[in-house]
Amino acid sequence: MKNSSGCSGSGQRNRGPLVPHLPAFECLLRTRGYALKTTRQKVRLVRDFSAWLSRRGTNIEDITLEQAGDYLRYRARYRRPRSDDVASLKQLLELLREEGIVAQRRVCKQSIPLDRLLYRYASYLREERAVAPDTVVNYSRVACSFLKQKFGEGRTNLSALRPTDVLKFVQHQVARGSRKTAQLACTALRSFLQYARYRGAIAVDLAGGVPGVANWSMPSIPRSIAPDHLRRVLASCNRRSAVGSRDYAIFAVARPTGVASRCNHLA
């Protein structure tokens, strides 16, 4: 008997073809780094889906993505849908296919409007990752720039993304702004690419291919010191102290070899 939320009663919720696979599904979610609250919500969704399949007399090997969609539409009449409900059932089917329980199916990756994709990504950051509002805005802006650079203003097809697209975007960010800005862009890009893989939109771990951005304070070590500067440095060394004597000795040794090799003779 279903309750007002569209879920099965406590007894029926533990029935159905998916119940034996709930521990494996929960383990999958934990290895992917989901928070405990999110993991419980996803497991609860699958448990209710299992009870729904049991009432319909559906065997586990006959489960399809279309049936998952039918269940979510049924569930939406009683409970407000979550932004990741579709992704959760896709993850379940992915697990069942990997275990050979459900036949492998070739899914056609269709393009979707850019604004819809960014809305889903922002919802994911807010609801599942509890990301701060300002960070959600910044990450979404970077994702938008990345996708526009690849696909323009039209529809997007994430399965068409390649490692070269990632490198080109990072190079563009480094060329147009500061290193700190480029580093933040790389962090945001990794987040978006991890989300895209989690949704099943890309099969390759593109997030792992986002390069790091160096943060050196100086582009290179000075090759030489002007003679006048070296005179001032030597004059500033207090040779009456141990530290001053040490510093003077270091610079005196450096004069004919490295740092001061181009300097004139100092009286």
Task: Give the domain extent around 121.
Answer: 112-209
Last residue of one domain, picked from the residues 68, 98, 128: 98
- Number of structural domains the chain divides into: 3
**131-144 tens-digit pLDDT:** 898 898 899 999 99
Residues 204 and 117 in one domain: yes
pTM: 0.44
Q: Helical H runs in the chain?
A: 22-31, 36-56, 65-75, 85-98, 114-127, 133-151, 163-176, 179-198, 227-236, 242-254
Is residue 107 situated within a structural domain? no
**12-66 tens-digit pLDDT:** 556 789 999 999 899 888 877 888 999 999 999 999 999 999 999 988 888 888 8
The Cα–Cα gap between 94 and 96 comes to: 6
Residues 92 and 23 in one domain: yes
The Cα–Cα gap between 163 and 266 comes to: 56
Last residue of one domain, picked from the residues 64, 98, 132: 98
